[in-house]
Chains A and B, each alone.
Chain A
């Protein structure tokens, strides 16, 4: 089974702190994602990465950055945490195998269990 692991399930941080959320996947997936989940808003994409050292902005990148130094690890960084970043953060990964080819398998995206961040 694919496993996406978010090392911190619950964090409480102070306003202005630098926060790191770590995510590791064990299936050699090329693609990794960070989503934010808020009640009534569903999941919104913050950043994603198609390869090591590559990153692309999602729909709500402001206030966040990411790092992907190794294929299996994708980190979300809050440079200066603010109270409006209190939320649940979900990491996900997927494979690109077959994508865009004549045999596009439409690969599934697998999610971690989430990290609950409270900024006080």
Chain B
């Protein structure tokens, strides 16, 4: 069965510093991978997605993620964090032939001044 692991429950980053959120997945074939962000009390907004091709994908709000098949990872990065990036971030995976998303447990990002 598919699964997603986000090993960091909380991460605190200083404003202006770089950010990397970790995501590892378990799936036999090449999965479809997603990163979503959730601001407090809100629904989920898609940041970026990987289906195939270039393993470095660009998303909204200055985020990017890199798919590494050998490490079964899809880590999210941002070179300079802004206070408005404080939110919860979810990594998700799904089969190529099905629509169901399997989510990680999320990483809460705190941004310090």
**Residues on B facing A (Cβ under 8 Å):** 9, 32, 34, 36, 41-46, 49, 51, 90, 92, 96-97, 99-101, 103-106
Q: Is the CB of A106 within 8 A of B43?
A: no
A96 interface neighbour in B36, B49, B99, Cβ under 8 Å: B99
A-B Cβ contacts below 8 A, count? 62
**Least Cβ distance of B97 to chain A in Å?**
5
Q: Is the CB of A109 within 8 A of B42?
A: no
Q: A4-B43, A43-B44, A96-B99 are in contact. List 20 more A-B contacts (CB 8 A).
A: A33-B100, A33-B101, A43-B101, A45-B101, A90-B43, A100-B97, A104-B96, A104-B97, A105-B51, A106-B96, A107-B99, A108-B46, A108-B49, A109-B34, A111-B44, A112-B43, A113-B42, A114-B41, A114-B42, A114-B43
Which secondary structure dominates chain B's binding surface?
Answer: loop
CA distance A48 to B34 in the complex (A): 19
**Least Cβ distance of B73 to chain A in Å?**
18
